[in-house]
């Protein structure tokens, strides 16, 4: 069912592929959504961003051990002080390693306004004619908190999850606003079961495909470049 919907989306947008940015608070089911999106196609790739950071650090271990130690310490603290330029390098390397899949899903990159501003330019280096879609897992905070704490298992993860949620919900409206010019937005109700969440995802993508069929312009980088000649996006 979801595969057919994504195929309809690709046809409606008349693009080479689709690139999903999956966002949501910890415990909202971002990984479930990301895997569901890419598992529908053999030509697909996914970037779980926290794992991409770890892989990037591993590749730097022998050459930049001090930097690696610093970043890993900041990651353990859930710190916001990791340099943006480092995070952009991680995303570039991860996307470069995917090759040219038709369907791509990036989980957990869009966390700060600066990342939202840089994301289309970085993605366009590799996927200039992919449709950009932001998939937001909308989940009540207490439900997401319980799930996230349960997933962590041993230890008292509740305080650090609360800090992460404070930061996410404080930034959410800004993230939405920064992404709106360059990305379609699909909200997914993630409060229920996995099946209910995937049904909501399918319906949201169906609605987007219908919107594009009715004459809406697909937000690919190439389309945006033509529509915004002279703007910062086109620079």
Q: Assess if residue 135 is contained within a domain.
A: yes
CA-atom Rg of the chain in angstroms: 18
pLDDT of residue 227: 65
Q: Assess if residue 26 is contained within a domain.
A: yes
Q: Assess if residue 162 is contained within a domain.
A: yes
Q: Assess if residue 42 is contained within a domain.
A: yes
Rounded to whole angstroms, the Cα distance separating 133 from 135 reads 6
pLDDT of residue 233: 53
pLDDT of residue 184: 97
pTM: 0.90
Q: What burial class does residue 153 get, using C-beta atoms within 10 Å of its C-beta: 0-12 exposed, 13-18 middle, 19+ buried?
A: exposed
Q: Hunting for tokens 């053999």 — which residue is that?
A: 42
- Which residues does 78 contact at the CB level (< 8 Å), separation at least 6? 160, 163, 164
For the domain that residue 198 is a member of, what is the CATH number?
A: 3.40.50.300
Q: What burial class does residue 82 get, using C-beta atoms within 10 Å of its C-beta: 0-12 exposed, 13-18 middle, 19+ buried?
A: middle
pLDDT of residue 235: 47
Please give the chain's pLDDT, 235 residues, in tens: 899 999 999 999 889 999 999 999 999 999 999 999 999 899 999 999 989 988 888 888 778 888 888 888 877 766 677 888 989 999 999 999 999 999 999 999 999 999 999 999 999 999 999 999 999 999 999 999 999 999 876 567 898 899 899 999 999 999 999 999 999 999 999 999 999 999 999 999 999 999 999 987 899 999 887 666 444 454 4
Partners of 104 in beta bridges: 19, 45
Domain count, the chain: 1
Helix axes 141-152, 158-179, angle to 10 degrees: 130
Q: Assess if residue 91 is contained within a domain.
A: no
Rounded to whole angstroms, the Cα distance separating 74 from 91 reads 18
Q: Assess if residue 72 is contained within a domain.
A: no
- Cβ burial 52-63 (10 Å sphere, 16+ → b, else e): bbeebbeeeeee
Q: Are strands 44-48 and 17-23 parallel, antiparallel or unpaired?
A: unpaired
Q: Assess if residue 78 is contained within a domain.
A: no
What is the enclosing helix (H) or strand (E) of 37?
helix 30-38
Kindly list the distances between the CA atom of residue 8 and the CA atoms of 2, 5, 100, 185, in Å, as whole numbers in the listed order. Answer: 10, 5, 20, 17
3-state helix, strand, coil in the chain (%, to 5): 55, 15, 30
Torsion of CA 223, 228, 229, 232, to 10 degrees: -120
pLDDT of residue 231: 47
Range of the domain at 193: 2-48+101-224
Q: Assess if residue 179 is contained within a domain.
A: yes
């Amino acid at each position: 069912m979801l595969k057919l919907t994504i195929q309809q989306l690709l046809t409606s947008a008349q693009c080479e592929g689709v690139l999903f940015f999956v966002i949501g608070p910890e415990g909202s089911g971002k990984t479930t959504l990301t895997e569901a999106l890419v598992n529908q196609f053999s030509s697909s790739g996914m970037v779980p961003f926290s794992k991409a950071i770890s892989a990037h650090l591993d590749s730097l271990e022998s050459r930049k051990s001090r930097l690696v130690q610093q970043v890993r310490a900041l990651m353990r603290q859930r710190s916001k002080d990791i340099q943006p330029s480092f995070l952009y390098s991680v995303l570039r390397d991860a996307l470069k390693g995917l090759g040219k899949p038709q369907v791509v899903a990036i989980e957990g990159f869009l966390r700060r306004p600066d990342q939202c501003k840089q994301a289309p330019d970085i993605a366009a280096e590799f996927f200039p004619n992919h449709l950009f879609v932001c998939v937001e897992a909308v989940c009540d905070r207490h439900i997401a908190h319980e799930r996230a704490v349960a997933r962590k298992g041993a230890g008292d993860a509740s305080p650090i999850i609360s800090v992460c949620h404070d930061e996410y919900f404080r930034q959410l409206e800004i993230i939405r606003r920064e992404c709106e010019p360059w990305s379609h937005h699909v909200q997914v109700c993630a409060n229920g079961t996995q099946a209910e969440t995937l049904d909501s995802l399918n319906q949201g993508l169906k609605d987007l495909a219908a919107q594009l069929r009715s004459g809406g312009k697909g937000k690919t980088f190439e389309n945006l470049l033509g529509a915004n000649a002279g703007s910062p996006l086109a620079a």
